[in-house]
Structure 1
Amino acid sequence: MKKNNINKLATSDPTRRDFLGRVILAGGVGSASTLLPVTTVAAQQSCPLTGSVAWTQPDNNNHVIALQEQDAGGDGSVLLEYFGHCAFKLTSPQGVTMMFDPWRNDPSGAWGLWFPNDFPKSKVDIGLSTHAHFDHDAIDRLDAVMLLDRMVGEYRFADISITGIADKHACSAPGWYQWTNAIKEFGADPCPPNNPGHMDMSMYVVETGGLRILMWGDNRHNPSPHVLRQLGNIDVLTLPVDGSQHILSYEQGNEIVAMLNPKIIIPTHYLCEGVSITLTTLESADTWIKSQKNHNMLSSGEILLHKNEVAAMNQEFMYFGANTKVPVA
């Protein structure tokens, strides 16, 4: 069959049209890029989505058992490692390891290529995802003893406490790329209360080493007063602000910083050389960072955070830039 006839069939056939609609509504539109041809999307129907991969993991839970037998608490530094985009590995003073929001490309192919390489296979105790968009939910790439996918509520283990707080994804694109229009074009409302499920969010407050660290994910800039009360005092805040202002605008990011008054602010969801590429439509966070009074251009993909040092800081913007822990291909 000729290519133009295939395209015609894919767009005229109701089943294929419905499939494309479901791809748009569920395939990671919060991080949308250029659509691939409909024929590419239709071809993906024959490729089943991956289920649980835990049975393929080569390692076991010996480390978690050892942690379980120790007394909780203790003092020490928290290690924060950046894996590009919104992915962070956090290691508690006692040695509990957590990976947040590992990224992947959209499995449907509808939103184009964002990451030229797979997320590195990573051994951690706990894997976490803030929401069901492709650039945040590659939990199959984690050799994790536990997975907390979009968790709401409280989880405690060893010297960590994680609180998941339910809210909503940013639903109005403040930048030049109006990715929210894709949701509207298929008859759905990206904004609450009638948003589709992939626009739901779980923010995570991690307490360890005497610090409170907030993984903001792609949350909206104006959560309810009830949500803000649950967030409480924050020492370290991650925020999705980039030059294209894809999720949050500069002004929205500044408003959140002023509202929460964290000691440290770390930008996420920006174009990161060596991890993401131009098709993301993202830009670097350089302009936003350099506009801040206190900013630190980090020279590596990791930082050690101790509560005494952090306590002396005042809205210090720390920027990893292109420095990540992702192995060089």
Structure 2
Amino acid sequence: MNLSRPFAVLAFIAAIAGFVPAPARAESGEPGCRPEMASYRLPIQRVQLAKDEVRLTFVGHATFLIETPGGVKAATDYNDYVRPPVTPDIATMNKAHSTHNSRSPDPAIKQVLPGWSTSGQGAAKHDVTLGDVRVRNVPTNIRTYDGGTDYDGNSIFVFEIGDLCIAHLGHLHHPLEPGHLRALGRVDILLFPVDGSYTLDQEGMLEVLKAVQARVMIPMHFFGGGTLNRFLARTQELWPVELREQPVITLSKATLPAKPTMIVLPGH
């Protein structure tokens, strides 16, 4: 499904309204960002991935389930409210709100990677390999509630799987500097927030997308159709947009679009 006009996005959101339930009120400072756990009707049956494929499932908010050909499962911004239907092997987390981290991660998770230094000293530093996936982080800053700066309170997590490089921006609050871009390296698939207020404003996020130049760009953290629609209306002259009917997508290096493309998965 391709986007030809902004109102097509609203039609798409309306079509999937029965798929995603309304979120509960948040205590984290973000409006309506605590959907009930396991409230997403995600497919349980899984087809085996080819050796060069990666499967992404948009669980909701800022959480994606990333699955590798070797069977490793990683969950981004793992938290106590929105969780994938399976226990991940790797869980990345960010500091900004309680819907981006967990106080009680499942003890069966092999690697729990907070995007901030739990000691309060400096930045988090992660570079771990589990099976066929390498996960590393690029620290960024976040705003505090009193208008200050929490240095290195967020991390962009990078997942290297075969020939693919996936980056999850987390709760990004500021434009990326040249040092961030060098640390990221080539990004094939970018998972990025579009709310425009609790994270980086939408104009700033557009500049981030232009700088990263990922072949696949998947929005998240948009709280509803109105915010998503406003963002996509600003992008339609820049990149083609594909609206998918399922929250699951399988990608490989060979199947990446020829030019940067926005792919919207149902959820919020």
Query: Would the TM-score normalized by the shorter structure come out above 0.5?
Result: yes
Shift of 1:121: 5.8
Shift of 1:120: 5.7
Kindly indicate whether the alpha-carbon contact (under 8 Å) linking 1:84 and 1:272 is maintained by their aligned counterparts in 2.
Answer: no
Query: Partners in 1 of 2:223 and 2:258 — Cα distance?
Result: 27
Shift of 1:320: 1.3
Kindly indicate whether the alpha-carbon contact (under 8 Å) linking 2:192 and 2:218 is maintained by their aligned counterparts in 1.
Answer: yes
Q: 1:286 to 1:153 in 2, by over 3 A?
A: same
- Counterpart pick for 1:149 among 114, 117, 122: 114
Range 214-223 or range 314-323, more displaced: 314-323
- Counterpart pick for 1:90 among 58, 66, 86: 66
Q: How does 1:14-93 map to 2 (within 5 A)?
A: 28-29=28-29, 31=30, 75-93=51-69
Kindly indicate whether the alpha-carbon contact (under 8 Å) linking 1:130 and 1:204 is maintained by their aligned counterparts in 2.
Answer: no
Shift of 1:227: 2.0
Task: Kindly tell me the number of residue pairs found equivalent between the two proteins.
Answer: 213
Kindly indicate whether the alpha-carbon contact (under 8 Å) linking 1:205 and 1:214 is maintained by their aligned counterparts in 2.
Answer: yes
- Counterpart pick for 1:130 among 75, 85, 94: 94
Three-state SS of the structure 2 residue aligned to 1:202 is strand
Three-state SS of the structure 1 residue aligned to 2:60 is coil
TM-score normalized with structure 1 length: 0.58
Q: Does 1:160 align with 2:133?
A: yes
Three-state SS of the structure 2 residue aligned to 1:101 is coil
Query: Partners in 2 of 1:257 and 1:145 — Cα distance?
Result: 32
Shift of 1:78: 0.1
Deviations 1:173-204 (A, max 9, x none): xxxxxxx6xx22xxxx422xxx3x7x711111
Query: Partners in 2 of 1:32 and 1:190 — Cα distance?
Result: 21
Three-state SS of the structure 2 residue aligned to 1:218 is coil
Flag structure 2 segments of 5+ consecutive residues without an equivalent.
Answer: 1-26, 33-49, 116-123
Query: Partners in 1 of 2:133 and 2:246 — Cα distance?
Result: 25
Q: In the alignment, what sits opposite 2:38?
A: none
Kindly indicate whether the alpha-carbon contact (under 8 Å) linking 2:159 and 2:167 is maintained by their aligned counterparts in 1.
Answer: yes
Aligned-pair identity in percent equals 22
Structure exhibiting the larger radius of gyration computed from Cα positions: 1
- Flag the structure with higher strand content: 2
Deviations 1:244-285 (A, max 9, x none): 543222211110111111101111111158xxxxxxxxx541
Query: Partners in 2 of 1:218 and 1:190 — Cα distance?
Result: 16
Shift of 1:299: 0.5
Three-state SS of the structure 1 residue aligned to 2:139 is strand
Shift of 1:209: 2.8
- Counterpart pick for 1:232 among 182, 185, 194: 185
Deviations 1:96-115 (A, max 9, x none): 1101113446xxxxxxxxxx
Kindly indicate whether the alpha-carbon contact (under 8 Å) linking 2:157 and 2:169 is maintained by their aligned counterparts in 1.
Answer: yes
Q: In the alignment, what sits opposite 2:199?
A: 247
TM-score normalized with structure 2 length: 0.70
Alpha carbon RMSD of aligned pairs, Å?
Answer: 2.6
Deviations 1:133-169 (A, max 9, x none): 2010136354423212225231112211111111112
Shift of 1:313: 3.0
Q: How does 1:168-247 map to 2 (within 5 A)?
A: 168-169=141-142, 171=143, 183-184=145-146, 189-191=147-149, 195=150, 200-242=153-195, 245-247=197-199
Query: Partners in 2 of 1:289 and 1:95 — Cα distance?
Result: 33
Kindly indicate whether the alpha-carbon contact (under 8 Å) linking 1:162 and 1:205 is maintained by their aligned counterparts in 2.
Answer: yes
Q: Does 1:296 align with 2:239?
A: no
Q: Which amino acid aligns with 1:165?
A: V
Query: Partners in 1 of 2:213 and 2:153 — Cα distance?
Result: 25
Query: Partners in 2 of 1:162 and 1:246 — Cα distance?
Result: 26
Flag structure 1 segments of 5+ consecutive residues without an equivalent.
Answer: 1-26, 34-73, 106-117, 172-179, 274-282, 324-329
Q: Does 1:308 align with 2:258?
A: no
Deviations 1:224-254 (A, max 9, x none): 3222210111111111113x54322221111
Q: 1:124 to 1:308 in 2, by over 3 A?
A: same
Deviations 1:45-95 (A, max 9, x none): xxxxxxxxxxxxxxxxxxxxxxxxxxxxx9321000111100001001211
Q: In the alignment, what sits opposite 2:266?
A: 321
